[in-house]
Structure 1
């Protein structure tokens, strides 16, 4: 499906930028592939088109038919900087950033820096997992070892900023990235969470944000 779906995605009405990604074992923040969990990222002209196509387009129906579980989260870009495969995929909107927000980071790791990068990842993953504010988190990627994407959802921008700026493994890794020039390409984006459909491990992860509210 990850190979055969490419031709169908290219012909899909309304789709803009898209990527088919695998994940790592555990919570995804490892270089060891998890052959059970996959991710499709796609941009659309509006939420209505996104919801219609993800529930009715043949390529998505094929995934649904073969999946034991599927969860889709709908997002509106609030901010974005950097490039992905040489393009700027997200057009920011005037959506409010109140309520749950999502953060996506994507990087192409320089081959000679890969070992240093992956040595940092376990510490970062453990800190994210221990943070009581994080609603959802996963590490995914296009190419194992070289292309890394992290995706997380937080109850609000303050909780997300507190984690990113704290003096912990994440902040130290960011400093190392800047000082060592580890990435040949990088992108950072923030989104307002519009809603979701389906389940992850039997429920919607967004129910955590509703309980907190």
Structure 2
């Protein structure tokens, strides 16, 4: 992954990118999935996935016969920063959109709060895994245990809200993050899923849904 930094840095189509590992079980996990990685790129224009990441990465993945799932997302609402930047642009906190929706949540934990955070992860992961309307969930991370993110994609905004605000463990953790000040920095963005190409573990998770 480290060799990707140079071509992405020089790609004029991209104004923000992140290279990340993935956790097991589709969410935050103390154990990494060494066969799955993620590249996040942000551009002002919606391009073909290969154009977005550039020829070098596309050729690299082809040579090593990587399974690829590319998802194009349009940010519509949210708040927070990543490395001090409004990387998705200035967005309203809410919108009227109610269709299929993707949610990216990321946070940098205070070192002293990391243990408290990880004590709650398993219960939330189980709630997420069994939530109606969930199409896909992937746990991501820049730095293991301290800088993580989750991308989840839902059949509707109503299904996402049902998990976010009605599931007991998740609702409890939302309150604790604020009360106990776990996060040094956080970001929460919702997107319209525009299109997907490829597969994950041999399956197209969005077949007939996007």
TM-score of the superposed pair, with normalisation by structure 1: 0.90
Q: Deviation digits for residues 86-145 of structure 1, max 9, x if unmatched? A: 101003689983431100000000100101101101000000111121000011100000
For 2:72, the equivalent position in structure 1 comes to 74
Aligned equivalents of 1:209, 1:138: Cα separation in 2: 18
Q: Check conservation: 1:111, 1:146, Cα contact below 8 A.
A: yes
Secondary structure of the 2:114 match is helix
> 1:188 matched to which residue of 2?
188
> Corresponding residue for 1:137?
137
The answer to whether the 8 A contact 1:64-1:70 is kept is: no
Q: How does 1:39-50 map to 2 (within 5 A)?
A: 39-47=38-46, 49-50=47-48
Partner of 2:85: 87
| Residue aligning to 2:34 | 35
SS of corresponding position for 1:106 = strand
Measured against aligned partners, the alpha-carbon deviations of 1:140-181 in whole angstroms (never above 9, x if no partner) come to 100000001011000111111111011411111111101000
Whole-angstrom distance in 2 between the partners of 1:193 and 1:96: 15
Comparing 77-86 with 19-28, greater Cα deviation is found at 19-28
Check the 8 A contact 1:22/1:38 in 2, yes or no: yes
Runs of 5+ consecutive residues of structure 1 not aligned to the other structure:
none
Please, which runs of 5 or more residues in structure 2 have no aligned partner? none
Please, what TM-score do these two structures have when normalized by structure 2?
0.91
The yes-or-no answer on 1:65 pairing with 2:63 is yes
Aligned residues: CA RMSD: 2.0
The number of aligned residues is: 208
Preserved contact between residue 81 and residue 187 of structure 2 (Cα < 8 Å): yes
Structure 1: distance between partners of 2:40 and 2:194: 15
Q: Distance in 2 between matches of 1:198 and 1:85?
A: 30
1:158 partner SS: helix
Shift, 1:57, TM fit: 2.1
- CA-to-partner distance for each residue in 1:35-90, whole Å, 9 max, x for gaps? 1100000011211x343514752223213432431100000001120000010100
Moved more, 163-172 or 149-158: 163-172
